[in-house]
Chains A and B, each alone.
Chain A
Amino acid sequence: MLKTFRIGGIHPCENKFSAGGQIRQAMLPERAVIFLAQHLGVPAEAVVKKGDMVKVGTLIGKSAGFISANIHSSVSGKVARVEAMPDMSGYRRPAIVVDVEGDEWEPTVDCSEELTVHTDLDAKDIIKRIADAGIVGMGGATFPTHVKLSPPPGLKAEIIIINAAECEPYLTSDHSLILEKSKEVIVGTALLMKAVGVTKAVVGIENNKKDAIEALRKVKTEGIEILPLKARYPQGGEKQLIDAVMRRQIQSGALPVSVGAIVQNVGTAFAVYEAVMKNKPLIERIVTVTGRGVVQPSIFRARIGTSVQSLIEDAGGFVGNQGKVIAGGPMMGKALSSTEVPVVKGTSGILLLPQEESYRRKSNNCIRCAKCVQACPMGLNPTLLMMATEFGNWQLAEDNYIIDCIDCGSCSYTCPSFRPLLDSIRLGKDKVGTLIRARK
């Protein structure tokens, strides 16, 4: 029996068109738009100004708080302007726009492909390099990695869990990364173990990626277990993954490290390898461009700041009736209103859905079938939370743990009445969160 989380879950159609595909280098953009806030927390402060020349890897935004991250230039050229640009939500946010000239790297970055395994750095130095390189959670949550590696006093990690579940349908970035960089991923994992001082790590990976499991097992791994998991959404949710691997459930509001776990995405492990061993800041990432709306589903290594439009063109462009363009996967991704927005550190994929897959069906009465209750991986009652939100009964919503919702979308996905459960719950969660903070 494969391990999996113990509450709820669904199994959406996987549609992994690009599975096992080779990672291609995306075209260099002519102009890169690099946001100063690509992470959870305080935006970085710009340290360059209009007219400055930058190289690949030059620090252009400096971490501006405890929860914040450095930003580096992903291209070489001239800073065209430092101003607010529309991001994936359509809001304008501070960004640095660089006109690309050539491709000149900072000399400190080791660009060789050679595998480096040994380092004399101690835990503190490793965490410092990770912070300097501006590494954030690559699974999409973009929480600054160096903060996650420094648990609050009194809490001690026992284990590093590498999240290679990639449970979102369509996306295959992690899959290809593992196939091509299995050794680097394992070295990155070892670095993470050293950084937090644990001797055990588990790589949790859904069993639908057998070749990737094989590739990881071929690498000599001391203290690192490769653990196949059942293909079940949301296996890659942090709480669900910890439950699947350790049979421990984090209590409402607690940190993962409260049960002894620190979870890092497999893409983060690779970025940690590059940062520590190659001195390479986080300036590019793997992006799956996929869906029935694109000519050639592809996996790219793209510089941060490359526009979504140019990646789509790189993959052959649109096909059929253009409907939705989604940053991320179909379950949790964000539908874009324009493709003229740049790739950021958290962009794991671009999903193109044709028009016929883009509309929701008209919703009907709740028939109280409880399928959402059975699907919810947090053990909530989505239809009750939706009702509480619609009636503005915030106490009822709070008493039924609306705050614990992880936005996975399993409820809306399952509902036979096509009710927009998660839409309502998001609103309610926001409101209840505000009320709770106001009480403190």
Chain B
Amino acid sequence: MKKELIVSPSPHIHGGDSVEKNMYGVLVALGPAFLLSLYYFGLGALTVTLVSVSACVLFEFLIRKYLMKQPLSISDGSAILTGVLLAFNLPSNLQVWIIIVGALFAVGVAKMPFGGLGNNIFNPALAGRVFLLISFPAQMTIWPVPGSFPPTYVDGETGATLLSLLNDGAGAKLPAYKDMLLGKMGGSLGEVSAIALVIGFAFMLFRKIITWHIPVSILVTVFVFTGIMYIVNPETYVNPVIHLLSGGLLLGAIFMATDYVTSPMSISGMIVFGVGIGLLTSVIRLFGAYPEGVSFAILIMNAVTPLINTYFKPKHFGSK
């Protein structure tokens, strides 16, 4: 034996999964929604997404290199993903400098100070979005109306989202179901089409990037809760299907709440987490001052995640 042998403890093989594969997998899953947003919002969607992604990547690069003085982490894809998710939560006519402020908050406050990917408590993209919503309420709540093809960035008509219509009372003029499924309604650029988001969900399930537990428990909870309210008082409350298809619910349930870092680890914990988000979302939507509650609900449940992890452990072999 001339050459030395390599020695290490078992296991000696690896399944080949990686952080990058998962991150880029989520990006692919966001593809259909992105394409539709280009179709509906045109240049606006492209501009917002490009600015958001570049800003997130740049801030992560600068912080990592000059403040943390650690090896770069751009290639793991998480900064790109944060950028895309942030963009998906913004109106397509938002001013560029506001987007940059949002990216700075997402990466510079919600993610990197905790130690970067894996250590953050709150979903960075959502934290950025909510920061902008509170800081720039006017700019964050006017949306261009999609559908005028080819859409233009500068002179797009602006209109209210479905949920802000709902908040004004059930009698307001609502878009048809078909438009809601395809996304022909006002809203942030990634949230408008239910079908595109569900296709992304199916892709992520197929690739085993996420499990079904969190999204399904959120959606079922919202459906049941708003359904009960609708049965009790159909005059005031809209039917639960509209709640499922509107606003950021699907985007939040499928892509934001399932963020690995900020969601629980056990199946039972995931369900508790999902039900919590569903309840909070419904309560904020039905009784709160804000028209949309998904972002707040997810962030609140992010904060509860460590507690959920403590009390809802994986089902242990041999336990009754």
Chain A interface residues toward B at CB < 8 A: 7, 10, 12-13, 169, 239, 243, 249-252, 254, 309, 322-326, 328, 330-340, 351, 353, 355, 357-361, 364-371, 373-374, 376-381, 383-384, 400-401, 404, 407, 409, 412-418, 420, 422-423, 426
Distance from A277 Cβ to chain B, minimum over Cβ atoms (Å): 36
16 further A-B contacts with Cβ under 8 Å, apart from A335-B7, A351-B12, A367-B260, are A243-B317, A326-B12, A330-B12, A335-B9, A359-B6, A360-B8, A367-B118, A368-B118, A370-B260, A370-B264, A384-B309, A407-B10, A409-B10, A416-B22, A417-B19, A423-B9
Interface contact A404-B12, CB-CB below 8 Å: no
Distance, CA A172 to CA B119, complexed state (A): 43
B5 CB contacts on chain A under 8 angstroms: 322-325, 335-339
**Chain A: interface secondary structure?**
loop
B208 nearest CB neighbor, chain A only: A371
Distance, CA A407 to CA B10, complexed state (A): 9
B10 CB contacts on chain A under 8 angstroms: 326, 328, 330-335, 407, 409, 422
Interface contact A360-B261, CB-CB below 8 Å: no
B11 nearest CB neighbor, chain A only: A409
A379 CB contacts on chain B under 8 angstroms: 314-317, 319
A252 CB contacts on chain B under 8 angstroms: 316-318
Per-residue 0/1 for B117-149: is the Cβ within 8 Å of any A Cβ (1 yes, 0 no)?
A: 111000000000000000000000000000000
B266 nearest CB neighbor, chain A only: A373
Distance from B19 Cβ to chain A, minimum over Cβ atoms (Å): 5
Which of B11, B211, B266 contacts A413 (CB under 8 A)?
B11
Distance from A130 Cβ to chain B, minimum over Cβ atoms (Å): 29
The 6 residue pairs across chains A and B that have the minimum distance between CB atoms: A409-B11, A365-B118, A369-B260, A370-B265, A251-B318, A379-B316
B17 CB contacts on chain A under 8 angstroms: 371, 414-416
B22 CB contacts on chain A under 8 angstroms: 369, 416
Distance, CA A239 to CA B318, complexed state (A): 9
Interface contact A380-B316, CB-CB below 8 Å: yes
Interface contact B14-A376, CB-CB below 8 Å: no
B319 CB contacts on chain A under 8 angstroms: 249, 251, 379
Per-residue 0/1 for B254-278: is the Cβ within 8 Å of any A Cβ (1 yes, 0 no)?
A: 0000001111111000000000000
Distance from A351 Cβ to chain B, minimum over Cβ atoms (Å): 8
Decide if B313 is an interface residue (CB 8 Å cutoff): yes
Interface contact B9-A422, CB-CB below 8 Å: yes
B264 nearest CB neighbor, chain A only: A370
A368 CB contacts on chain B under 8 angstroms: 118, 260-263, 265
A404 CB contacts on chain B under 8 angstroms: 316-318
A239 nearest CB neighbor, chain B only: B317
B1 CB contacts on chain A under 8 angstroms: 309, 338-340
A323 CB contacts on chain B under 8 angstroms: 5-6
Distance, CA A377 to CA B314, complexed state (A): 11
Chain B interface residues toward A at CB < 8 A: 1, 3-15, 17-19, 21-22, 76, 115-119, 211, 260-266, 309, 313-319
Distance from B29 Cβ to chain A, minimum over Cβ atoms (Å): 15
Distance, CA A368 to CA B314, complexed state (A): 14
B211 CB contacts on chain A under 8 angstroms: 374
Interface contact B117-A358, CB-CB below 8 Å: no
B22 nearest CB neighbor, chain A only: A416
B119 nearest CB neighbor, chain A only: A365
Interface contact B12-A335, CB-CB below 8 Å: yes
Interface contact A381-B13, CB-CB below 8 Å: no
Interface contact B13-A357, CB-CB below 8 Å: yes
A378 nearest CB neighbor, chain B only: B317
Interface contact B14-A412, CB-CB below 8 Å: yes
B317 CB contacts on chain A under 8 angstroms: 7, 239, 243, 249-250, 252, 377-379, 404
Interface contact B266-A381, CB-CB below 8 Å: yes
Interface contact A367-B261, CB-CB below 8 Å: yes
Q: Give 16 CB contacts A-B under 8 Å.
A: A239-B318, A249-B319, A250-B318, A252-B317, A322-B5, A330-B11, A333-B12, A335-B7, A335-B12, A367-B118, A367-B260, A373-B265, A379-B315, A380-B314, A381-B265, A409-B11
Interface contact A413-B314, CB-CB below 8 Å: no
Distance from B63 Cβ to chain A, minimum over Cβ atoms (Å): 15
Known: A325-B5, A331-B10, A335-B7. A367 touches B117 (CB 8 A): yes
Known: A340-B1, A367-B19, A368-B260. A360 touches B117 (CB 8 A): no
Distance, CA A323 to CA B116, complexed state (A): 35
A376 CB contacts on chain B under 8 angstroms: 314
Distance, CA A422 to CA B12, complexed state (A): 11
Interface contact A422-B11, CB-CB below 8 Å: yes
B19 CB contacts on chain A under 8 angstroms: 364, 367, 416-417
Interface contact A418-B261, CB-CB below 8 Å: no
Interface contact B15-A414, CB-CB below 8 Å: yes
